[in-house]
Structure 1
């Protein structure tokens, strides 16, 4: 997952094939809060476009700064170069309609509707939904993340939002979280080894923690995530918790794996841990396992035999 996915996560959520009609809300978002949030986002956008690190730090939530830096260092990449290496431009919210703002605890979400333009040459973006998330700190509101919701498959939702009927925004996935999740660690330098956790868990939720630092949540997934801090020489700890999701059969196969990724061209990832259950096999609801990064594995990782 690239750094873009941290800042602009592409969510294609199912809102339903139809929406109940609701009266148009008579009162819009609070003007002062609206100005504050829009100003912060546009300052963040300008900093990203101008590759202004000081400007980015000034308006980005502190927990998000740590999370982004952790990810880049765990991938053993240059922080500044990777941070500003965006394949698309952050959209300009001044060209969109602000539908609503919701506040919960120290978090707020702003909901924009219209042609969300990522600056792709020749593209004519249709009306879609952009949800910006913010966190309140001592210095005021700071930018956190953005979710882009493509409404192409659900045109009724697009029509309802265009008419000012905001029922779709009441769904739990669009609500502000109320609190921010602080990273377990703030890395000072690059991880020694690029490490990924891979999980295949149809019908299940799997939580994984590596070395009590890198936490991961997978739901009905087949995907891999970077391990924050990477694996370390010698013994490493992996904790997991597994539960069946609604609709799951509790008989599906599942896998948890840890891979080390080489920086030497042509060297394939090395699988150093696996917990696998075949179809209809018995799954442990939780457990603590260990894997070792040995000198022999390091030699293979560096292209030796």
Structure 2
């Protein structure tokens, strides 16, 4: 289903830039391979750059129809669901950001690659997102694309910061050496896009959760959405679809995993209402911890909100 312009529906403050750099910022600390030819596909590069610039133009003009037509169905749906879950207006909130999609002028292309129905462009250079000249530094920019009905559409992008990369990595990049990390899984298009999630409901309340899972691999599911499994870690984020007045529920799928000797497993979840006013505290509506006697493979936890 293509969720084009579901107006009147209503994400966190991070949504102000999640639609631009959706996957966030990562730190690159890798080595380089010996220099060899780039081997980028000129025709593919031209096609993908045109797709990106089409999306960029829609963002700058705040043209909701053009934005919906230039971005992948998967990313459009993910963004819509996050905006709605934040009780913000969609699609208006998509354009509420101080971040400017960067121009590609002056950036050096490291790779243009397509695998199956996915592709990417990877650049190196000064990436200007309108954050002030003193903050414009040499970094990596990866643009991701998806092919739908034979047409390449922009999906998302990612900036990899280089300020703490090993000196030899920076020197080699500056000298024009092709980096070895381009052959890694992280810099290889996956070949297939994730399934497009269903459109989530418009919630009565913005809600979040905090899941601690040590000694277990735990997957949370709620409102038709499943989240990435948490194993020996902590995950805290907004609940897609939020909460409504009356009965709600979340489901945990649990698999025990080995723990270091002497360390006890821990599994607990908190669900809380997030007020629209950031000055006000959140209100807990669910707290559950796994009993020491053990946990089932699946547990469904009801939440009543008045």
3-state DSSP of counterpart to 1:93: coil
User: What residue number does 1:158 align with?
Assistant: 170
3-state DSSP of counterpart to 1:12: strand
3-state DSSP of counterpart to 2:27: coil
Q: Distance in 1 between matches of 2:280 and 2:50?
A: 47
TM-score (norm 2): 0.82
Question: Does the alignment pair 1:64 with 2:87?
Answer: no
1:202 Cα deviation after fit: 6.1
Change (3 A) 1:121 1:157: same
User: What residue number does 2:7 align with?
Assistant: none
Given that 1:242 and 1:284 are in contact with CA atoms closer than 8 Å, whether structure 2 keeps it comes out as no
Given that 1:6 and 1:145 are in contact with CA atoms closer than 8 Å, whether structure 2 keeps it comes out as yes
Question: Does the alignment pair 1:30 with 2:41?
Answer: yes
3-state DSSP of counterpart to 1:55: helix
Given that 1:99 and 1:164 are in contact with CA atoms closer than 8 Å, whether structure 2 keeps it comes out as no
Q: Distance in 2 between matches of 1:284 and 1:200?
A: 14
Q: Distance in 2 between matches of 1:125 and 1:202?
A: 39
Question: Does the alignment pair 1:226 with 2:238?
Answer: yes
User: What residue number does 2:26 align with?
Assistant: 12
Q: Distance in 2 between matches of 1:248 and 1:116?
A: 47
Cα deviation digits, residues 92-128 of structure 1 (max 9, x gap): 1222111002222211121111111111123252211
Q: Distance in 1 between matches of 2:117 and 2:262?
A: 38
TM-score (norm 1): 0.82
Question: Does the alignment pair 1:256 with 2:256?
Answer: no
Instruction: Give 5+ residue unaligned stretches, structure 2.
Output: 1-11
3-state DSSP of counterpart to 2:110: strand
1:178 maps to which of 191, 199, 210:
191
Question: Does the alignment pair 1:271 with 2:299?
Answer: no
3-state DSSP of counterpart to 2:272: strand
Change (3 A) 1:226 1:252: same
Given that 1:194 and 1:260 are in contact with CA atoms closer than 8 Å, whether structure 2 keeps it comes out as yes
Given that 1:207 and 1:217 are in contact with CA atoms closer than 8 Å, whether structure 2 keeps it comes out as yes
Question: Does the alignment pair 1:207 with 2:209?
Answer: no
3-state DSSP of counterpart to 2:136: coil
1:220 Cα deviation after fit: 5.4
Question: Does the alignment pair 1:287 with 2:287?
Answer: no
Q: Distance in 2 between matches of 1:205 and 1:123?
A: 43
Change (3 A) 1:212 1:10: closer
Q: Distance in 1 between matches of 2:137 and 2:278?
A: 41
Given that 1:157 and 1:168 are in contact with CA atoms closer than 8 Å, whether structure 2 keeps it comes out as no
1:46 Cα deviation after fit: 1.4
Cα deviation digits, residues 7-43 of structure 1 (max 9, x gap): 3033223524xx2x52323243111100010111111
3-state DSSP of counterpart to 1:94: coil
Q: Distance in 2 between matches of 1:95 and 1:151?
A: 17
Question: Does the alignment pair 1:90 with 2:101?
Answer: yes
| Structure possessing the higher relative contact order (Cα contacts under 8 Å, 6 or more residues apart) | 2
Question: Does the alignment pair 1:137 with 2:142?
Answer: no
Corresponding pairs, count: 289
Cα deviation digits, residues 199-239 of structure 1 (max 9, x gap): 23468654211143343444654442222222243141322
Cα deviation digits, residues 52-73 of structure 1 (max 9, x gap): 1122112100111111111111
User: What residue number does 1:53 align with?
Assistant: 64
Q: Distance in 2 between matches of 1:177 and 1:76?
A: 32
